[in-house]
Amino acid sequence: MNHEIRQRFARVREKRLGTLTAFYGDSGTLADELEREEPAQRIRTYSETTDDEVIGAIRLLGRIRGAVTIIHGPPGCGAAKLEDELRSGGGPWLLTHIEENDSILGADDKLRDAIGRAQRLWKPDIIFILATPVIAINNDDIQSATVEAEELYGIPVVPIFAAGFRSKSPLYGYDLIYHALAKHVLNEEPASDNSERFINLIGTAETRTGNIIRELTAAGISYNNVSGFYTLSDLRRSPGAAASAALDRDDAGYLLAWLEESRGVARLDVPPPIGLTGTHRWLLAAADALDTGAETRNVIEAARTETAETLALQRLGDISVFIDLPPEQAFGIGELVTELGGKVTAFALTHADLTHAPRLREWSRRHNPHVLIEPGQPFEKINALNKWRPDLYIGRSETAVWAAAAGIPAASVDAVDIYGFQGALALAGLFGKALRNQALSRYLSAGGSSYREGWLAKSVNWHIKQEVR
């Protein structure tokens, strides 16, 4: 990791973690493949558009308070998500608006003008320069402009060398940002003696933290919140923690690894606090990292007991469940479904990598659910749903509509805070409501599918081929 920090940008996830973004099979087969030295990559001969590393970076950069982000590229780059991020309360943005001549002759002057404008208008704590595919192709000199601006304004001006085509996973955009922050900001901070007793609570762009923060506070566990919306000072404080606990290890993995390897901040190797067992295990790990006393454990145990008693009244029964979420969330909610008496028969994931192999192996020993990896490919999802016909679909609102249109009760989890004991109760209520109120799915399914029978009769992965080298 220290060697990698000296490079311009982080290694892609496909090389570093063996990340796959296309797969169709079962949990055991996927675990076998991920445990190989170099998993076989697959390509789609037909693909719908989906998020890339630039969009992933935009999503995370907008959550850093006191920052201004300059998107160095033509107007179209990043525009698809920029409005959504601004609407969600993200920080200010500028676009250098490079044109055809700039892409050939260079746009250094436009970048310097944009940095100066950002400083005059907002007096930020930090400025990020986000490169785009055009910049990656013409190799515009971002580094010189950032060094000059740092000397002139006395604040960090951090280049993010996104290209949009290096990795197939948008989470690589998070890696690029954490790499840049470690290289240009955190690495410059003096080493801490770790005398303060707190943990880093690390999440990323879309993480809701209300439930878990209330539960940490109730248990008397001190934390530094580096999730949701946070500041540069929160980031700078992170190397002084006793340990780091992630709400999603996929999203925050790069920062967790750097803090551990470069600053000795242990990362808690526990799944996210989702469900009864998952939350209990995560809170106890956080308490152990700070060597808290019996009172903290008593608070955690009492909360677990109270939650278990309520969940006992919200059993799902022997139903089949299709979970369509990023891996850490999917596996955590899958555990909750099992605790409630349901049976997970399929996972639809955004990606999978070496770190997921143990969880997949564990699921394969139960009833070996199907696994479909299909980031932003609704036609693959619809095909799989049509074949597997689960009793309940669990996912996000933008994809739950497809399940409802197929006549399958659907629960959209993005409307609730899924973490902590309270998150377990909210999710259980959401599942029960979806199963009780099936009028919407019956109404939508009456209109028939937008796909023809010939298409649905094809294999889910007929268009996915193994990459030849």
Residue type for position 33: E
C-beta of residue 322 within 8 angstroms of C-beta of residue 348: yes
Domains and CATH numbers, the chain: 53-164+168-185 (3.40.50.1980), 199-305 (3.40.50.1980), 315-466 (3.40.50.1980)
> Which DSSP helix (H) or strand (E) runs through 267?
strand 266-267
Residue by residue, pLDDT tens for the chain (469 residues) are 666 778 888 999 999 999 999 999 999 999 999 998 888 888 888 888 788 888 888 888 888 899 999 998 887 655 555 666 655 656 788 888 887 675 655 678 888 999 999 999 999 999 999 988 877 777 777 888 999 999 999 999 999 999 888 899 999 999 999 999 999 999 876 666 556 689 999 987 567 889 999 999 999 999 999 988 889 999 999 999 999 999 999 999 999 999 999 999 999 999 999 999 999 999 999 999 999 989 999 999 999 999 999 999 999 988 999 999 999 999 999 999 999 999 999 999 999 999 999 999 999 999 999 999 998 888 899 999 989 999 999 999 888 888 888 889 999 998 899 999 999 999 999 999 999 988 777 777 766 777 788 878 888 888 888 865 5
**Among candidates 451, 413, 453, 447, which has minimal Cα distance to 433?**
413
Using DSSP's 3-state secondary structure scheme, residue 271 falls into coil
> How far is 421 from 303, CA to CA, in rounded Å?
7
Q: What CA–CA distance (Å, rounded) separates 85 from 94?
A: 13
Q: Of 17, 15, 27, which is closest to residue 330 (Cα–Cα)?
A: 27
